[in-house]
Structure 1
Amino acid sequence: MAKMASRFYVTGLVQGVGFRYWTSGRAQHHGLTGWVRNRRDGRVEVLVFGEKEKLDLLERELAEGPPGAMVQSVEPAPVTPEEAELTARATGFEQTPTV
């Protein structure tokens, strides 16, 4: 099955509720690589690489979020070729600093 990279911006009550930790666990469970980080505008950004069906599953899970989160939306966004290559070479899934 073909692999690809996806980016998602998650809005709502998604910071201070363990969203990044939860996202890391879900991504690792699905065998995906990449990262998750908070953004100063209150969103959470996820850049992830793997099989399309698993990316679609993670996107649906992000829309639900962990207990305590109140997700308003999950917006897909473009991934540059350089970002896709970096996530394809990643060996795991990590939480990165806020931007």
Structure 2
Amino acid sequence: MTETAASVRVTGRVQGVAYRAWAKAQARALGLRGWVRNRDDGSVVALIAGPEDAVKSMIAAMSEGPAAAQVTDVWTEEADPADVPEGFEILP
């Protein structure tokens, strides 16, 4: 099983809509590790790692987000799986 990692930035109405809690639940359901956090500019960023198919599924899900979100853009950049911590957490 090939492991991969991605840094993801999501913009739109993604704060104040439970996006981080939703992302944590999605990531855990997919068996991913990493973190998610709000940024001061109104975006949400995440670092995710796991099986390649699961990472792709998570990125696709993040393009939709929870029901109250209105995602306008998702940017991804390849990351090093070794840099991604175990578990999945919401960071301050």
Tell me the TM-score normalized by structure 1: 0.88
**Structure ranking higher in strand proportion:** 2
Q: Could you tell me which amino acid in structure 2 is paired with residue 85 of structure 1?
A: A
Instruction: Report the equivalent of 1:40.
Output: 40
Q: Which residue of 1 aligns with 2:64?
A: 64
Unpaired segments ≥5 residues, structure 2: none
Of 73, 87, 91 in structure 2, the residue corresponding to residue 92 of structure 1 is 87
* SS state at 1:15 partner: coil
Q: Which SS does the other structure have where 1:64 is aligned? A: coil
Deviation at 1:93, TM superposition (A): 0.3
> What's the counterpart of residue 12 of structure 1?
12
Q: Distance in 1 between matches of 2:88 and 2:34?
A: 5
- CA offsets, 1:41-72, max 9 Å, x none? 11100100101110110111001100110000
Number of corresponding residues: 92
Answer 1 or 2: which has greater helix percent.
Answer: 1
Cα RMSD of the aligned pairs, angstroms, is 1.1
Percent identity, please: 38
Q: TM-score, normalised by structure 2?
A: 0.94
